[in-house]
Amino acid sequence: MKAPNDWYLKMIGWRERNIKEKNFVLVLALLVGFFTALAAFALKSAIDLIHELLKKGIDINGANILYLIYPSVGILIASLFVRYVVKDDISHGVTKILYAISQRKNRIKPHNIWSSLAASSITIGFGGSVGAEAPMVLTGSAIGSNLGSFFKVNQKTMQLLLGCGAAGALAGIFKAPIAGVFFTLEVLMLDMTMASLIPLTICSVTATSVAYFLMGDAPFFNFAITEPFSITRIPAIILLGLVCGFVSLYFTRGMNWIEDIFRKLNMPYKKLILGGIILSLLIFLFPSLYGEGYDTINLLLGGNGKEVMDGSIFYTGASREEFLILYLVLVLLFKIFASAATNGAGGTGGIFAPSLFMGCLTGFLLGHVLNLLGFNVPEANFALAGMAGVMAGVMHSPLTAIFLIAELTGGYSLFMNLMITATISYLTIIMFEPHSLYAMRLAKRGELLTHHKDKAVLTLLKMESVIETDLKTVSPDMMLGELVKVVSQSRRNIFPVVDKNGKLLGIVLLDEIRNIMFRSELYQRFRVRKLMISPPAKVNIEMPMEKVMDLFESTNAWNLPVIDENEKYLGFVSKSKIFNSYRNVLVHFSDE
């Protein structure tokens, strides 16, 4: 009797014999694009459906007590869903993708195909102040990863399909094929070669085409260019780029700070209570913080800034002009609190929408202030460029931001505005933060793979693969005569000194005792504790390899002891062993 999966194995075998991997990846890229577009449509439809159902009991354009209830209910449902149904952490989706790529695992769990969609649609549909794009990107990468796993492709192709999923997800949800490709190259840091660029493009274009068919061909945001780019406004645009850079810095550090506060709360109900109170109160005071904030962006891009205050306590009829700047500044400041509270309390969402929202507010605010000071600048154009500026700064992805905003709005004739703002913003923030909000968590742990080949190879090296444990240990109370016997039985020139608990106390170097080790009259005179010296430095087992190499360079040592967090001796690591391992990994890395 044939095994149940006999047809599957035959299909895999037939594919391997008849279709080359480099050709088959193009087919897979097309499939990934198709499925990610369907997933993006399902996510947007689910969010819209929940919004419509809730509108029956809530006035989005007016202060309503239900603002205090819905967001917390959504977070509670999403949190329970993740904890008891998914039973896995699905937050920080893009960071998870970066980790999978950095560790050369390239595998995303199958449940991420649907779990992020469900949790984020509930979170955002009920008013969570986050975006659906990062969960969608995780979903797309999960589709690519699991499709590759199903067809038994190699790790190199698996990584490419994972990137294709991310590109297709962004292209499908925003109808932005170019931005999807650049996002994968800039944010996920895949190398740009023809072997990777063509599948990424095929996936992105396929996802966009399906999205056009399902959602129509209208731009994501309503924007009409009333004033073209003018060279006389370049100084003002440069100023906007600088402001966006500092807003990005506030966004990045503020989000990290608030998330750390929630991370320190060890009980889920405490996170839910704190996050629910913060989010609900902020939305009640500032209705613009409800949901993704795309309605507010459309108002600002349309030049209808005053309408943003509708339904808030700042609404004062004809005199609302007086409060517009104050209202927008407060919304800008409190947006990160609303977004961090949403995720910190147990909701699921990303920072795409918050960065676009804050960028739009930043650009409109600066344009409005300049006009009040007597300058003539188009506020809507500044709002558009501000979106590119803050996104470029937060994600460290200027090209993605430039093309995404152009594709979202059809504002291609304002490319100069977008390019100047995004570039200046990016150059501003990298002076303070070398990594994006997505990457900094991995960078701190030394687990981030980058385009820098040396750093990338060192990231792939693990301490377990280079640690040497064949050195003979000695006791601090051991006499010189006993030490000489240990030396005679060893092939190494270094002898770690450890106490009875295994804690490293020092080292004995053969060169340091050579002049006395053949004098038998001294064998009972000296103890090891008198002969040992301190090592130049100690390497913690959890230390990233890049920092280990820095330690070797600063101490000029060739061998360093390895300890754990309790200073228990584990072994030695040598510079020569690292170089040999580095060479082997580099060959494999370069072949890919």
> Does residue 7 belong to any structural domain of this protein?
no
Q: How many domains does the chain have?
A: 3
Residues 53, 198, single domain; the answer is yes
> Does residue 258 belong to any structural domain of this protein?
yes
Residues 24, 84, single domain; the answer is yes
Q: Would you call 62 helix, strand, or coil by DSSP?
A: coil
Residues 27, 86, single domain; the answer is yes
* pLDDT score at 580: 62
Question: Would you give the DSSP letter of residue 472?
Answer: P
Residues 430, 464, single domain; the answer is no
Residues 207, 325, single domain; the answer is no
Which domain range does residue 563 map to?
Answer: 460-591
Domain final residue, candidates 162, 180, 215: 215
**286 vs 589: which has the higher pLDDT:** 286
* pLDDT score at 320: 57
Residues 481, 440, single domain; the answer is no
Residues 482, 373, single domain; the answer is no
* pLDDT score at 323: 79
Residues 447, 488, single domain; the answer is no
Q: Residue 45 maps to which CATH number?
A: 1.10.3080.10
Residues 274, 354, single domain; the answer is yes
Alpha-carbon gap, residue 60 to 54, rounded angstroms: 10
* pLDDT score at 318: 46
> Does residue 330 belong to any structural domain of this protein?
yes
> Does residue 11 belong to any structural domain of this protein?
no
Task: Return phi, psi of residue 569, to 5°.
Answer: -70, 130
Among 413, 422, 409, 292, smallest CA distance to 350 is for 292
Q: Residue 572 maps to which CATH number?
A: 3.10.580.10
Residue 566 to residues 159, 476, 501, 541, 544: CA-CA distances in angstroms?
37, 19, 10, 11, 18
Residues 491, 560, single domain; the answer is yes
Reported as a single tens digit per residue, the pLDDT across 160-177 is 899 899 999 999 999 999
> Does residue 105 belong to any structural domain of this protein?
yes
In the block, which residue shows the tokens 């601090």?
476
> Does residue 3 belong to any structural domain of this protein?
no
Residues 424, 464, single domain; the answer is no
* pLDDT score at 319: 46
Residue type, 41: F
Residues 210, 340, single domain; the answer is no
> Does residue 8 belong to any structural domain of this protein?
no
Predicted TM-score of the model (pTM): 0.76
> Does residue 238 belong to any structural domain of this protein?
yes
- Is the pLDDT at 1 greater than 70? The verdict is no
Domain final residue, candidates 413, 429, 454: 454
